[in-house]
Amino acid sequence: MKFPLGLMLLAVFSAKNVTAQNVTGQGVCVAEWRAPVAATGALVTAAGAPVTARGVPVRILMPAGAGPVPAVIWSPGYGAANTAGAVWARAWVAAGIAVISVQHPGSDNAAYAPAPPEERQARLRFATSMAHLAQRAGDIGLVLDELARRPREGACDLARIRRDRIGVAGHSLGAWTVQALAGQRMGGTQPLLDRRPRAFLALSGSQLEPGDPAAIFGGIGRPYLLITGTRDGGPGETDPVRQRLAPWRGLPADGRKALALFDGATHMMFAGNRPADTPLGSHVETGVIRLTTAFWRRWLLDDAAADRVLADPGLPPPDRWERK
């Protein structure tokens, strides 16, 4: 499957020149995870879920304390390493949620390494291909497998993580990864569906192929939060709102779906790579942290107070908040 050029531009307009922010917590551990191989040479993996055979760099951020915690797996956008999204990670860790930030080889920071223009274009074409989307989904599948298999990683006590309380989040190309794992149909099927995550967050998602959004996204049955902005587009994009809201139009109205549309917000305001430095950016950052933290606490911790926040988060017009 080949994705349209406009979507490729939206994906590439993502994480160049990331400045990582430190995240405080009880444990910050960096590793490369790889699926174990059986004596037969076959990958050892969870049955029925996509998984990758390659090494996947991860950065694990654990909240303070010794008790059980939920976790969020973060999939960054094009050109980003596992240090991306640190603003969101810091907020979620402070709320008692572990964060595992994933680096996807093939669309990570190596994409911006110096090279002739034709090689850079080839990198982009591969990064936005169905083949690489399958690799990205497999990277998340690998992380889910390893969280179930590993009791710890360095100083990080992974046994604290509740395996039945895990969410997946992503920005831009990472949001495509989220959509695929949640059950987006591609070519009429759900080839990358993973049934283990409990909830999903897509920042700057979009529809990857033409067709009825309900036919493409109508099979997503778990809690799902979509966040975007009225200027959340890439170079040459004339109607970013329509493109970004296509998944929302297709998601089923089951009482577990929500949309935040921030007026004037641009694509990189949702990456979470560095603290905001403008009034609009600060407004968006504050809103995203409030909404996403409440969303995770509602669906990963059954927090009734968080449900009240989601019922009326107080976004000022012309920002939009919808649930269905």
Superfamily of segment(s) 5-323: Alpha/Beta hydrolase fold, catalytic domain (3.40.50.1820)
- Spell out, as residue ranges, where the chain has pLDDT lower than 70: 1-26, 42, 44-48, 235-237
Asked if 171 and 195 count as a contact pair (C-beta separation under 8 A), the reply is no
Rounded to an integer, what distance in angstroms lies between the CA atom of residue 75 and that of residue 56?
Answer: 12
Q: Return the domain boundaries, the chain.
A: 5-323
Q: Give the β-pairing of 69-75 and 98-102.
A: parallel
pLDDT for the residue numbered 235? 62
Helix axis angle for 130-149 and 173-182, nearest 10°, is 70
What's the first-to-final CA gap in the chain, in angstroms?
Answer: 31
Contacts of 184-191 spanning 24+ positions with Cβ under 8 A: 184/208, 184/216, 184/217, 184/219, 184/220, 184/247, 185/215, 185/216, 185/217, 185/219, 186/1, 186/130, 186/216, 187/1, 190/219, 191/50, 191/134
Rounded to the nearest 5°, which phi and psi values hold at 45? -150, 170
Element (H, E) at 102: strand 98-102
Output the six-digit token pair for 5. 């050029």
**Sign of the CA dihedral 292, 277, 15, 323?**
positive
Over the Cα atoms of the chain, what is R_g?
18
pLDDT for the residue numbered 157? 96
Contacts of 324 (CB under 8 A, 6+ apart): 251, 253, 254, 255, 257, 258
Helices vs. strands in the chain: H and E counts, helices first: 9, 9
Q: In Å, how far from its chain's centre is CA 295?
A: 14
pLDDT in tens, 30-40: 999 998 877 77
pLDDT in tens, 44-78: 666 567 788 889 999 999 999 999 999 999 999 98
pLDDT for the residue numbered 197? 97
pLDDT for the residue numbered 108? 86
Q: Give the β-pairing of 56-62 and 98-102.
A: antiparallel
Residues making up the chain, counted from first to last: 324
Compute CA distances 282 → 62, 76, 276, whole Å.
25, 20, 5
Rounded to an integer, what distance in angstroms lies between the CA atom of residue 257 and that of residue 218?
Answer: 11
Q: Which amino acid is at 114?
A: P
